Structure 1
Amino acid sequence: MGKLAVVGAGVIGLSVAWRALQHGWLPVVIDPSPCSGASWVAGGMLAPVTEAWPGEEPLLELGEASLRAWPEFAAELGDVGLRTEGTVVAAFDSADARQLDILAEHLASVGRDVDRLTGPELRRLEPVIATSVRSGLSVPGDLAVDNRKLLTVLRSKATFVQQSARAVRTGEVELADGSTERADVVVIAAGAWSRGLHPRLNSLVRPVKGEILRLRSRPGSLPLGRTVRALVESRPVYLVPREDGEVVLGATQYEAGYDTDVMVRGVHDLLRDAQSVVPGLSEYRLVESAAGVRASSPDNLPLIDWLEPGVLAATGHHRNGLLLAPITAEAVVAMLNGEPVPEAASAARLEAR
């Protein structure tokens, strides 16, 4: 064991630092603005099955393995707003219903079952769904977490150097002020900014912008009881409830570099599509709009591996950073300690690319 420098204070970096501390390492987290990036803006869905798609079976297996670890992970941390009601997925029109049929058939082909529901059956589970929605799916095993509660708890367990990192080399991190933070091992977990910290990541990580809105129910408005995902004329949208009556609404996705401006068209599209599925949202208050930059990879799998002796990568999680935090932290600590990584995480190794 020794000193560990973790570059990046999102959910991945903070989870790695926390787990490493439990295993005898002395971590310091390097980030100019801890908990302010994509993890703070996220919706909080822990939903590998409803994210699944043909050709991405290794990602499904990785996500399911991490989902199984989430209840214990959350219990260790305390109150992080973990929700267990599951997810319903609504199809707005007949073309959207065919897309959900493809998803259900794919999941059945790889041994995962979801419940196909009629419109009335959907509304029995989630009464807020529009009467015009005629079909959908139920995924009772999905979870959701309050990302901001989670980050606040993880932040309380970390020691920080609040500076930007310029570059990472074996045993050291070059900081923005020209100084150097030295460590036995450096973990690059800086999300979309990881690509500029090590040459091996430059072609493997790219920024993808996403926008979210936060809404809050008002007296008399019908509350959302569980996560609702939907396809509206092939456009994805999700609504994730919080315990205090807040709802996180999202699913925009742009190739826009590191831009974090919230665009009028993004707000318009999110509200239009969400109200097509849950009309009662028109009575909610709009309390926040925000944009974040996710770290995507060419195959949507994260990158969890050694880049060189003394330098590890834990990045490229795209839409699944919150979901994959437990298994990523477990895999990184296993590598630090020279132990086997979880089998499902082997697909995230560089040699598998």
Structure 2
Amino acid sequence: MRIVILGAGILGLATAVELASHQAKQQLDINVVDPAPMSGATYHAGGMLAPTAEMIYQQDSLFPLMQTSAQWYPELIKTVTEHTSLPLGYREDGTLVVAADRADAQHLRNVMHYQHAYGMNVEQLPLSKARQIEPALHPHLAGVVSIPGDHQIAPRVFAAALYDAAINLGVTFHPLTATHLRISEPAKGGAPVHVHTTGSTFPADQVVVANGLGASTLSGWHPCATQESSPLKLRPVYGDIVRLRVPTYLRPFIRKVIRGFVEGRPIYIIPRDDGTIALGATTREDSRPAPHLGGVYDLLRDAIRIAPGLEDCDFLEATAGARPGTPDDLPYLGRVNDHVVMSTGYFRHGILLAALGARVSRELVLGQPLSADIRECCPLRHLVNV
């Protein structure tokens, strides 16, 4: 079977590894098309695997997907580990969520009650105990919650490991941009799909579209899909993220992911194995691809409010990335015809949902029973007058 995957961010790479590691019964020829692998939203992501902390009101359809994907992550980690010697950046230290003032503490309690209603493992901690666990926390926080089951992965590190594992599994990468799919009745032995790119044309039996916002300009996969208009209602949602380096004498500064609310503004502080820390993330829809000064200022100020010792860290970079959002914040995941699987629109949960998106895409491509209920993720659900 000839398979072409469009996109080599976290979703495309994980899908390639899923497929290549499950080809015992049939030989798969897997090609991945992406002009700049491991870039895009993946490069700028925070990497929190946090289905509990990421619960947002009125997104009940999203919760089961996030929980399922988090449960599947260890298996994906195991698969990647078997095919690469590179580090993965996976950490299971858990998460603390903190509140800066009384209003933030009330919000934290409200969210905790909501999480308990879904049976999630969330525990309120005295500040004294929290500071025993993470001494870098400010001594005058208004509330702390522990979420031991929320983990993290370093997206850049993990993407490099996925890329290496895919190559070791026989996947071929092509630094090209896909522009058009031509679907036709194949001649005997021919291909039902031809993937046209900026440099070559690839015959395929199955195509997985996992190129994020690029899916909105891909034509040919549906009668309504042109380069000017798409059945996919994707929009770029930008987020600023800051990276710091912790001086050697302060390491380890923190071990757990620290999430917080400061005057209602969300903030997260993510420690990495290499002694760096990521601060994030803002959310804006202003089509400005560069980091926003106000957003960077907010991140630094709020992070220092939670962990004052961050003032002694070195500033490494501020970046901004565009995440593919949908009108209902659910991904576009599923078949759009007999030969094309759509896997995009993961918005702020792309890293977390990568395990689910990759496995479901593999099951769809290989005709296997689905392990998750994705009916509400239909890629054509926002197409009017189908």
TM superposition score normalised by structure 2:
0.86
Q: What value does the CA root-mean-square deviation take over the aligned residues?
A: 1.8
- 2:94 is aligned to 86
- 1:261 is aligned to 290
- 1:232 is aligned to 262
CA gap 1:344/1:64 in 2 versus in 1, 3 angstroms? farther
Write the letter of the residue equivalent to 1:77.
Answer: V
Write the letter of the residue equivalent to 2:116.
Answer: A
- 1:180 is aligned to 201
Alignment partner for residue 281 of structure 1, among 291, 310, 313? 310
- 2:117 is aligned to 109
Write the letter of the residue equivalent to 1:160.
Answer: F
| Structure 2 contact 121–148 (Cα < 8 Å) conserved | no
Question: 1:246 aligned to 2:295?
Answer: no
- 1:35-50 alignment runs, 5 A limit: 35-50=38-53
3-state SS of paired residue (2:350): helix
Write the letter of the residue equivalent to 1:256.
Answer: D
1:22 Cα shift?
A: 2.0
- 1:8-19 alignment runs, 5 A limit: 8-19=7-18
- 2:35 is aligned to 32
- 1:160 is aligned to 173
For residues 84-131 of structure 1, give each alpha carbon's deviation from its aligned partner in whole angstroms, at most 9, with x where no partner exists: 110000111112112212211111222223111232232222211111
Alignment partner for residue 131 of structure 1, among 114, 139, 143? 139
Write the letter of the residue equivalent to 1:187.
Answer: V
Structure 1 or 2, whichever has the larger Rg, is 2
| Structure 1 contact 118–134 (Cα < 8 Å) conserved | no
| Structure 1 contact 13–189 (Cα < 8 Å) conserved | yes
Question: 1:214 aligned to 2:243?
Answer: yes
| Structure 2 contact 121–149 (Cα < 8 Å) conserved | no
3-state SS of paired residue (1:35): coil
- 1:61 is aligned to 64
| Structure 1 contact 6–186 (Cα < 8 Å) conserved | yes
Alignment partner for residue 74 of structure 1, among 72, 77, 81? 77
Write the letter of the residue equivalent to 2:331.
Answer: P
CA gap 1:351/1:7 in 2 versus in 1, 3 angstroms? closer
How far, CA to CA, are the matches of 1:196 and 1:118 in structure 2? 51
1:53 Cα shift?
A: 2.0
> Mind listing any 5+ residue stretches in structure 1 that lack a counterpart?
none
Percent identical among aligned pairs is 33
How far, CA to CA, are the matches of 1:343 and 1:352 in structure 2? 18
How far, CA to CA, are the matches of 1:263 and 1:91 in structure 2? 25
For residues 284-314 of structure 1, give each alpha carbon's deviation from its aligned partner in whole angstroms, at most 9, with x where no partner exists: 0111221111111122221111122211100
TM superposition score normalised by structure 1:
0.94
Write the letter of the residue equivalent to 2:140.
Answer: S
Write the letter of the residue equivalent to 2:297.
Answer: H
How far, CA to CA, are the matches of 1:277 and 1:169 in structure 2? 53
Write the letter of the residue equivalent to 2:336.
Answer: L
Say which is worse superposed, 112-121 or 127-136, in terms of deviation: 112-121
- 1:306 is aligned to 335
- 2:190 is aligned to none
| Structure 2 contact 17–80 (Cα < 8 Å) conserved | no
1:167 Cα shift?
A: 2.5
1:58 Cα shift?
A: 2.4
How far, CA to CA, are the matches of 1:327 and 1:111 in structure 2? 21
Question: 1:191 aligned to 2:212?
Answer: yes
| Structure 2 contact 334–374 (Cα < 8 Å) conserved | no
How far, CA to CA, are the matches of 2:232 and 2:36 in structure 1? 25
- 1:322 is aligned to 351
How far, CA to CA, are the matches of 1:197 and 1:95 in structure 2? 46
> Mind listing any 5+ residue stretches in structure 2 that lack a counterpart?
82-86, 184-192
| Structure 2 contact 360–372 (Cα < 8 Å) conserved | no
How far, CA to CA, are the matches of 2:98 and 2:3 in structure 1? 45
How far, CA to CA, are the matches of 2:127 and 2:356 in structure 1? 36
More helix by share: 1
| Structure 2 contact 4–206 (Cα < 8 Å) conserved | yes
| Structure 2 contact 232–380 (Cα < 8 Å) conserved | no
